[in-house]
Structure formats: structure tokens, C-alpha cells
Amino acid sequence: MEILKTKAAMRAWSAEQNAAIGFVPTMGYLHEGHLSLVERARAENRKTVVSIFVNPAQFNDPKDFEKYPSDLEHDKALLEKSGIDALFLPAREEVYPSGVPKLRLSYDASMARLCGKFRPGHFEGMLLIVHNLLMWVNPTRAYFGLKDYQQFVLVKSMARDLEFPLEVIGCPLLRDADGLAMSSRNVRLSPKGRAEALAISRALKKTQADFPRLKNNLAELKAAFATELKPLSIEYAEICDADDLSEATGRAEPTKQYIAAVAATVDGVRLIDNIFLN
């Protein structure tokens, strides 16, 4: 595994590869969910690159940025064992030598919903770093976990609209044995908080099970979803069109795919999760 620390080194490495490159961008503190993306990238490409960079531009709360967990030596060991070809590990000064640029990439309608409604500037900062990473790595395919479903939709739209010559692939989220969606933030939960957080996955599975019965009344389905999540501190609990994240109301259309999505705070930790309904 080569470790590349500059944009120039990353570009040069990619230019030397006469092979399909699979790319997994991360913010580190890796878990099995990340490694499932790496495994798929290795299976579908001759070369695999993982990046680790905790991007300050996508944290609307400075305290959240300061608390984001990190264990670089652990991450390196996992990636070495996984068999990737290169780790892109730039410092903040390398990525933003003159500070975070004022440039913002935005999809106003899609960003006004779900996480974007409550985290101003988050997705603009995310698209900025993903745009730049895609330029520096120049992959054939880029892999994103569907736990961050809104992120996946936005990145796929950006890659399409800016005509990046690559495929953006969404990979299923993974859950721990107790049902909690894998996340780097889970380490901050107390045992009591983790037990409380399991209400999220239970509510999602119940909503998925209720969908065939309530597909002609999505407002009732949404209300039942919110009820299942009590008494958690809920930021949002939505039923959405999976393509454009618009609110799904009325009757479900048989040709469309729908998703239930939730954000909740447990133990001061913000957790997100989702499930496809059909």
C-alpha cells in the first residue's frame, strides 16, 4: 500500500496506472461499513484508492468537527490488510492551502430537505471536497455508502451534471448485530444511549413492513413512522421519493422507489439512517 500525501503525488500515481481505478473517499475511523466499500471496489477494479480526510468545510458545528473520532494507525492497519493499492492522506494545508474556498456547489431543492435543512453549508462543503478528490484521484468508479443517502444522490447528480467520466456507485449500508447502522459516530454512544438508538432501526423496519398496507396513504405511513420513533429527539422522519428526495404524499406510484429517512440525536450524537420501502 502506497501512502500519498500530496495532490501532485496522487495525480501522478493515477496517471501511471493503465487500469480501472476504484475510489472510496472517507473521513477515517474506519469500520466494517467502509471495508465493504473497499471490498467491492477491489472486486470491480484492478486498482483501489482510499482517501482519509476530515473535511472542515462540511461541519456546520465546529464542536462536531472537534469531536469527530480519529485513529489513523488503526485505519492504516485495516487498509493494509484489505489489500488496497494506495492511501491518499493529505493534510488540511494541502487540501486548502489558502483556506476553504468561497466556491459553493449547490442543488437548492435537494439540499433544502432532510439533513440539508438542519445542517446549513454541510452539503456544499461535501460536494466541494468530493469534486476535488475526484479530480485528483481520477477514478473509474467511486463508491459511497447508502447510509448517507442524501450525500449519494447529490454526488451522483454532480458527477452527471459536471460530466465526470466515472461511475458513482451506492453500496448498501451495514448494520451491527443489534440493528444499529454502522457509523464512526457510534463510538460516542453510552451503553444506555446505544440501547435507546435501536428504536431507529426498529421504526424503519416497521415502516418498511407497513408500506404494502399503507402505500395508498403515505401521509398515514409517515405519521405511523414518527410515532414509532417516540420518545427519541427527532430532527426529521420522512418518506421520500428515492430519486430526487422530494416529499412523498398521497398514493405511492408503482414505478417509483421510496425511502424512509430519519435523523435523531441520542447522547448528544446525531445519527442518521434510512431504508428502502419497495
Catalytic machinery residues = 34
d(CA 95, CA 76) in angstroms, rounded, equals 20
Maximal C-alpha separation, the chain:
56
d(CA 83, CA 79) in angstroms, rounded, equals 7
- Select from 5, 6, 10, 100 the least CA-distant residue to 58: 100
Peptide linkage before 231 cis (omega within 30 of 0): yes
Cα→Cα distances 46→1, 35, 77, 213, 241, Å: 14, 17, 21, 45, 35
Strands (E), the chain: 2-4, 21-26, 47-52, 86-88, 141-145, 167-171, 233-241, 258-266, 269-276
Q: Which residues contact 169 (CB under 8 A, 6 or more apart)?
A: 40, 141, 142, 143, 144
Is-contact 269 193, C-beta < 8 A?
yes
Element (H, E) at 192: helix 191-214
